[in-house]
Copies of this chain bind each other. A is one copy, B any other.
Amino acid sequence: MHTNLAHSPVAPGGTKIALLVMDGLGGLPLEAGGKTELETALTPNLDALAARSVLGLTVPVAPGITPGSGPGHLALFGYDPVKHAIGRGALEALGADLDLGPEDVAARGNFCTVDEGGAITDRRAGRIPTELGQELAGLLRAIRLEGAELFVETVKEHRFAFVLRGPGLGEALSDSDPYTGGNRPLPVRALEAGSERAAALANEFIRRARRVLADRQPANMVLLRGFARMPRLAGFQELYGLRAAAIAVNGMYRGVARSAGMTVLDVPGTAPEDEFAALEQAWHQYDFFYLHIKRTDTAGEDGDFWRKVRAIEEVDGMLPRLTALRPDVVVVSGDHSSPAFMRSHSWHPVPTLLYSGLVCADGVAEFGERACARGGLGMLPATDIMPLALAHARRLAKYGA
């Protein structure tokens, strides 16, 4: 919980807040003196909204820190992304786009090589090609466990994400990975009462995986480590008094939103227009809407400057569908920057726009990195966005007299 709110209780209200997250929004020019992706994009609707808004640059975790999408989103949702770290297994599952529920237990998986006596000779199975990893993941997916579902998703080469879903599973589990070659994989042990069932299921999975993979040398065994559930967060209803809905296509974002107590809406397809349709349909049922756009980040990570420009322009074209709903507060931001120039996430602060009838508009009528640097919000931690959004929605009480 954002510490600000410990002192100013939330007030009930009939107002609505929309948080539009363009993943990896912030960018860089391709050459010195040039424009970023957002500055290059033709965004008449975002610019018009900017003119009635206050702008700034948000810092997701801390200056210089490149955030993953998990911490980037936790910060935008008002949770300290350092205090509420997401465990390694849960991160791997979210990263592999598995739709992680609050009771699911996730782990990082490796294919590995064992000798005839069962001792590990290569923890990474010679880094098998990703395509082979995907084929073998199919074999693992066919394993059936009693009383629990399992999910396997290839990450890259020998790595995969593993998820157990079922009632009464604990996350306090030891790794099966002994970390040193020559040893045999370890049995997964329950480290706390309440995790015994999960340990038994994990061991049963490993036992069957070994049988299924027996003749697939060098990937003839699996290792599991970093078991974790999603962090247990106080939800939006409890923290902010908001009935919150999430509109996102990819599992990672659905998982983080669910862990923040949002209702994850069904989206009829995978395109932004499908997400805006879901927004319109659910508008009267919730107070807060998180709408996630993935394409901006994918283009940035692919190093495709112009595809990122077009992804931003596509969102700009749909913005009137959001503003037509007459939200009291609109935030447009990103969970981190993903400059195409860098082909990766980056630490650069993220262009952010806060619209409400109660902002002191800063007169900056353009939505872009350099425009936001001149904005009235200045540079601010991303965790300040939710308190500011609540305030502008008249949902925070006064502190003191």
**Chain A positions near chain B (C-beta within 8 angstroms):** 3-4, 7-8, 26, 28-29, 32-33, 36, 52, 57, 61-72, 81-82, 85-86, 91-92, 94-95, 341-342, 345-348, 357-358, 360-363, 369-370, 373-380, 384, 387-392, 396-401
- Output the least CB separation between A265 and chain B (Å): 24
Which residues of B sit under 8 angstroms from A378, Cβ to Cβ?
A: 57, 373, 378-379
Give the chain B neighbours of A380 by CB distance below 8 A. 63, 379
The A interface is mostly helix, strand or loop, or mixed, namely loop
Interchain nearest-CB distance for A87 vs B (Å): 11
Residue among A8, A95, A369 with the highest chain B CB neighbour number at 10 A: A8
Q: Is the CB of A65 within 8 A of B360?
A: no
A-B contact pairs, 10 of them (CB 8 A): A4-B64, A29-B360, A29-B361, A63-B384, A63-B387, A65-B387, A66-B398, A81-B399, A360-B370, A362-B370
- CB pair A391–B65 under 8 Å, yes or no, is yes
Which residue in B7, B52, B377 is a CB contact (below 8 Å) of A32? B52
Say whether B8 contacts A66, CB under 8 Å: yes
Asked if A358 and B342 make an inter-chain contact with CB atoms under 8 angstroms apart, the answer reads yes
B399 and A65 contacting across the interface, CB-CB below 8 Å: yes
Distance to closest chain B CB from A89 (angstroms) = 11
Contact indicator A376/B387 (Cβ below 8 Å): no
Please determine whether A68 and B401 come into contact, CB atoms closer than 8 angstroms: yes
Kindly state the separation between the CA atoms of A348 and B81 in the bound complex, as whole angstroms. Answer: 26
Beyond A358-B28, A400-B85, whether A370 also contacts B363 by CB under 8 A is yes
B66 & A396 in contact (Cβ 8 Å cutoff): yes
Name which residue of chain B comes closest to A386, CB basis.
B64
The distance in angstroms between the C-alpha atoms of A152 and B9, with both chains bound, is 29
A347 — which chain B residues lie within 8 A by C-beta? 388, 391, 396
Return the contact of A94 from the options B67, B341, B401 (Cβ within 8 A). Answer: B401
Q: Contact at B369–A65, with CB atoms within 8 Å?
A: no
A65 and B379 in contact (CB under 8 A), knowing A36-B360, A358-B28, A401-B94?
Answer: no
Q: Are A401 and B64 in contact (CB under 8 A)?
A: no
B residues in contact with A388, CB < 8 Å: 63-64, 347
A68 cross-chain contacts in B, Cβ below 8 A: 398-401
Residue in A52, A63, A95, A390 with the greatest tally of chain B CB atoms within 10 Å? A63
- Name the B residues within 8 Å of A384 (CB-CB): 62-64
- Are the CB atoms of B398 and A345 closer together than 8 Å? yes
A363–B33 CA distance with the chains assembled, in angstroms: 8
Q: Are A32 and B361 in contact (CB under 8 A)?
A: yes
Q: Do the beta carbons of B400 and A4 come within 8 Å of each other?
A: no
On whether A70 and B360 interact (CB within 8 A), knowing A64-B388, A379-B378, A380-B63, the answer reads no
CA–CA, A149 and B335, complex, Å:
58
How far, in Å, is A29 (CB) from chain B's closest CB? 8
